[in-house]
Amino acid sequence: MTSPVLDQAKDARPGESKLWRAPFVGIIVTLIMLFAIGLAHALMTIIEESLGRDNTYIASIFLGFAAIVALWYGIKSKSENFATWVGFFSGIVIWMTWIEFFYMYYGRKNFGMLPRLDETGVTTEPEYLIMTATIGVLLTMMAFYTFDKDTRCNMFVWIQNRLGLRDGLGPSTKTAKDRNYAIITFMETFYVTWFCYAWNLLAFEPAFAGTGNQAFIAEALTVFVSITWGGFCFSRLLKYRRTSTAVRYGLPTANILWISVEISSRWGVLTEIWLYPKEYAIELLVLLAAFTILTVMIYKAPKKRSEIEGWDR
């Protein structure tokens, strides 16, 4: 008869398959997150083209509420795995509906704003002009997270250490068991998306980055920072085996790397097929199939008991 302690330790280990060992978990999660960003853009375009703009504004209200209901179920769940994925998908939907579509309504319809133009055509749509004005709120929230002693975000912990805040803030009052992974992942998805949008918009802002050669230098520097920072995060992610943690760390990794994708598209280096779902339907269906298969694989991958039963780590 085996010892219960040994049985519990055995159950706590991820699967023995090499697929669920480093670096494969990190690679798969990064692909999922990159696919998710592109497919979310495609979904927004499909919704707008299918319903029309006026109906889209109305539908976005109810789609957002549906995401909040899903988040409610995730918050109630004791499964870290389930809560993490619900928080992720809820965050994406809320960003698309209550942020992008709402800003689209206020910018284009309610305020009647015009897009920013240059000799090449439209450079910034009204909704993104509004979004640029929210950077002050973004930085205010960043201050809150910087001074939050319970944060476990690697970036904010690093900032706290550099500023010598850890002793002043005191020890964390929360253990892993006390953390609600649905709302944590939801807010991470929301805030990281917002942060990267703001970063990208500043790189394209003439008042900030200049025009002509100045703009090109700012954009090239942004690509360098995106690839360097994102690459560093990816190198850390390659060491992950615990899939729920990898999903949460994959969020900023993919979004930071995506900045270089946006700028490469602006330079004409690649075509953003997710913005033209009718013209690239087959390619997007392939991406959707890959995203679905990889997501199911990670969701169903062998888990530690703490990921599925709410046990403390």
Concatenating the DSSP letter of every residue in 124-145 gives: E-HHHHHHHTTHHHHHHHHHHH
- Burial level of 251, CB count in 10 A (0-12/13-18/19+)? buried
Evaluate if residue 201 carries a pLDDT over 90.
Answer: yes
Evaluate if residue 9 carries a pLDDT over 70.
Answer: no
Secondary structure element (H or E) that encloses residue 122, with its range: strand 121-124
Q: Are 230 and 257 in contact (CB under 8 A)?
A: yes
Q: Which residue has better confidence, 157 or 67?
A: 67
- Tens of pLDDT, residue by residue over 240-263, are 989 999 999 999 999 999 999 999
> Which of 129, 126, 171 is CA-nearest to residue 148?
171
Evaluate if residue 104 carries a pLDDT over 50.
Answer: yes
> Which of 46, 63, 125 is CA-nearest to residue 97?
63
**Tokens matching residue 50:** 């299918």
**Tokens matching residue 155:** 């970036």
pTM of the model: 0.89
Sequence ranges of the domains in the chain: 35-115, 130-171, 184-270
